[in-house]
């Protein structure tokens, strides 16, 4: 059992913290809105006043926040987790952010005698709750070996991909396919629907066909009934695709399907679906193609 820290108790972060607690670990956490952590506090979570306090109290501190700006906000300054890092401590950043930022923060943590790895996840609320989450890790191999068992308490598939920043790059590459698949699926459902096939039937056929990836099997039904709480909202998906496009420019890799999907995410946001699950690209298609079958 370990004394762990967790910074960022959102849709995924809160569930990961709960999973770590269920494995018997002590967890000290920080969330920008403390009241949202009350359910976890009732289960034994210790709530800290700042990211620095979390990192100072924990041997291993996990971080999961929305974007690069949010990561900077919890990392920098006198109350940031970098200030709380020290010899022997480890920071595990599970956010999807710029690889360059991830490497820069890892260097700052290293300057304090601690170590940092980037460890974004592939999966959703459902795969996390089913214990099927996949985790990729970037950093030095020795640090990876020290935390591998802890990561396996979150998800069973933990893969070392190389040095700092490379796991974030791998996650960005993965989410290209997630976004593009969802748009292609939405196109197929809408085409079938306008041909006269019931939407529910089209979803059932496609999710059980050769294209029925695990992601489409759990997210495909969202085109029939959107979840009350977004598993991964449109704003977040577009953030990841913009990171991919930025990385593609840096590395001279053309990303044509990413570009098209990004435009449809912009359309969905313009229609008011920014906070809805990114399956809302289907709703954008419906509006453009005309309401009704």
* Residues taking part in catalysis: 171
Q: Are 286 and 190 within 8 A, CB to CB?
A: yes
DSSP output for 6-39:
EE--SHHHHHHHHHHHHTT-EEEEE-SSGGGGHH
| Residues in contact with 7: Cβ distance below 8 Å, sequence separation at least 6, in sequence order | 13, 29, 30, 31, 51, 54, 61, 62, 63, 64, 65, 74, 81
From 181, 182, 179, select the one nearest 282 (Cα to Cα).
182
139 dihedral zone (left: phi>0; alpha: psi -120 to 50; beta): left
Question: Tokens at residue 264, please?
Answer: 């449809």
């Amino acid at each position: 059992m370990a004394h762990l820290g967790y910074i960022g108790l959102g849709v995924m972060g809160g569930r990961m913290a709960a999973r770590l607690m269920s494995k018997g670990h002590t967890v000290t956490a920080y969330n920008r809105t403390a009241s949202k952590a009350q359910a976890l506090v009732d289960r034994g979570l210790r709530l800290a006043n700042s990211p620095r306090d979390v990192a100072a109290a924990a041997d291993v501190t996990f971080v999961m926040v929305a974007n690069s700006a949010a990561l900077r906000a919890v990392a920098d300054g006198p109350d940031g987790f970098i200030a709380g890092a020290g010899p022997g401590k480890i920071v595990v950043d599970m956010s999807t952010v710029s690889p360059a930022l991830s490497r820069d923060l890892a260097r700052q943590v290293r300057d304090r005698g601690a170590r940092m790895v980037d460890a974004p996840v592939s999966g959703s609320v459902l795969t996390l709750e089913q214990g099927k989450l996949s985790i990729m890790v970037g950093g030095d191999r020795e640090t990876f070996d020290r935390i591998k068992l802890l990561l396996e308490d979150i998800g069973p598939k933990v893969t070392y991909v190389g040095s700092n920043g490379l796991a974030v790059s791998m996650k960005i590459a993965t989410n290209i396919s997630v976004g593009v698949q969802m748009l292609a699926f939405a196109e197929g459902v809408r085409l079938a629907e306008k041909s006269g096939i019931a939407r529910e039937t089209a979803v059932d056929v496609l999710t059980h066909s050769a294209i029925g990836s695990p992601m489409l099997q759990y997210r495909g039904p969202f085109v029939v009934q959107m979840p009350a709480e977004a598993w991964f909202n449109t704003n977040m998906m577009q953030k990841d695709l913009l990171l991919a496009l930025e990385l593609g420019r840096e590395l001279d890799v053309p990303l044509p399907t990413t570009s098209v999907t990004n435009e449809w995410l912009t359309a969905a946001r313009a229609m008011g679906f920014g906070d809805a699950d990114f399956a809302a690209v289907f709703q954008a298609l419906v509006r453009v193609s005309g309401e009704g079958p």
